[in-house]
Amino acid sequence: MSEKKQQSEDQLLEEVTSSEYKYGFTTDIESDTIPKGLSEDVVRIISAKKNEPQWMLDYRLKAYKAWLEMEEPDWANVSYEKPNYQDVIYYSAPKQKPVLDSLDDLDPEMKKTFDRLGISLEEQKRMANVAVDIVMDSVSVANTFKETLAEKGIIFCSISDAIQDHPELVKKYLSSVVPVRDNFFSALNSAVFSDGSFCYIPKGVKCPMELSTYFRINEAGTGQFERTLLIADEGSQVSYLEGCTAPMRDENQLHAAVVELIALDDADIKYSTVQNWYPGNAEGVGGVFNFVTKRGICHKNAKISWTQVETGSAVTWKYPSCILKGDNAIGEFFSVAVTNNHQQADTGTKMIHLGKNTKSTIIAKGISAGKSNGNYRGLVKISKGATNSRNFSQCDSLLMGDKCGSHTFPYIEVKNNSSKVEHEATTSKIGEDQIFYCNQRGIGTEAAIALIVNGYCKDVLNQLPMEFAVEAQKLLEISLEGSVG
């Protein structure tokens, strides 16, 4: 490689590394914050502030006790300074807690934040037919389209409202897929979760619109402990979107969410995520720790499809999983994970086949640039009773620059002889000949890379709902423009 070319590559890489996080700003809203640290009292305060019934407090206290006995896991292929859990504020809610029916009642400051993010709620409301449950620092402040949904019998509200209004559903399903003791972060979340979304689709109802939540970490030093519970009753269908951006901060912020999906017989859930938390600056200072537990259970003939585009966070630890419990259940996982600068991602999925004739598909695309490390870690488990099951996994990695790393850790366990499992993985860089081919045809190097990356991720991006696909493509461009492999 000639020196000149090397220089221009370095320059291009430099450009990428220096492109600052677009969404880094803080909204100045008065917050109702409790002191730092975690103790039984804090758990009680959170529960009391949210005016929760006794069973919920008991649940939280049990989780807190379980958490105390657990150790933070370190098996993931990421290294970071473990957060001091006593240095985190566990509850922060915007002081005015308006129950809004229209967006006009929204705090103008907050509205401006969303406008700067390029998300016009009115527009979404009118044009995209999306009901948005905005979660800004843990408490939902706007809930649109609630009435439209209510007509169909769909319950879409914050989880704290659900605890008040639908305790029977929450009691039945909360922690039924992700047990409190499942892992360190799920126990922590169960103890201190401040808010999140709750959704119930009744029998045979097809949700007429995409449901979406918008997460934002706002208050400095506030951990976000979101809890999402989505129940699709027999024969129902729903598509749920979740997207996030976070403002620029120098200290690491902790995000430990738990998402539980329950797809009863013949139900169909599609859960899409675009994650763009603050990844830290070019030197790897700051950034969000994203330790998320996402899991769904599929009963007979049900289907759960996870789609994720992960571009943010300093450290990501996330494995959206499917338990295929019923016969003929289907699980899908489509992922694009982009890491740049000093980002680290350890992400993948678990497909646990228990029912007969269950099928799962895994498509994971990793892109690593700068000094980042991307990992795919996945489990495909076919139990003895899961006869005639089928799995197809493909995980590809694209490397940009010689300081980054890409790794795959697939676990495949098969316990019967009528199932078929295929797994394949490749790692390579964008070929110089590919770029040359584009250059020859008058496509600039930047555009060529965007073209190739887009093609590479197409299998996954195609799975996203329209409005997310556009945002995801933009994110990929921002994250990678100029990285010549």
Residue numbers of the site for another protein (CB under 8 A)? Answer: 75, 384, 397, 399-429, 485
**Cβ-based nearer residue to another protein, 8 or 418:** 418
Tell whether the torsion through CA atoms of 138, 141, 144 and 147 is positive or negative.
positive
User: Do 260 and 290 touch, CB atoms closer than 8 A?
Assistant: no
Considering the complex, state which of residue 303 and residue 390 has its C-beta at the smaller distance from another protein.
390
Q: Give min distance, CB of 398 to another protein, in A.
A: 9
For the CB of residue 415, give the shortest distance to another protein in the complex, in Å. Answer: 4
Class of residue 441 by CB neighbours under 10 A (exposed 0-12, middle 13-18, buried 19+): exposed
Q: Are 365 and 336 in contact (CB under 8 A)?
A: yes
Nearer to another protein, 102 or 426 (CB): 426
Name the minimum Å distance from CB 287 to another protein. Answer: 21
Minimum CB distance to another protein smaller for 237 or for 387: 387
Least Å from the CB of residue 89 to another protein: 36
Instruction: Give the nearer residue to another protein in terms of CB position, either 26 or 77.
Output: 77
For 194, 367, 379, the CA distances from 114, given in Å and listed in that order, are 21, 28, 38
Q: Which is nearer to another protein, 253 or 375 (CB)?
A: 375
Least CB distance from residue 148 to another protein, whole Å?
47
8 A C-beta contact, residue 274 and residue 240: no
Q: By C-beta, is 109 or 413 nearer to another protein?
A: 413
Tell me the residue ranges of DSSP E strands in 11-87.
31-33
Within 8 A by CB and 6+ apart from 107, the residues are 29, 94, 96, 98, 141
- Which secondary structure element, helix H or strand E, spans residue 48, and what is its range? helix 40-49
Residue 417 beta carbon to another protein: minimum distance, rounded to whole angstroms: 4
Least Å distance, CB 340 to another protein, is 14
- Amino acid in the structure at residue 327: D
Question: Residue length, the chain?
Answer: 485
Helix 466-480, helix 445-461: angle, nearest 10: 140
Between β-strands 227-232 and 31-33, what pairing exists: parallel, antiparallel or unpaired?
Answer: unpaired
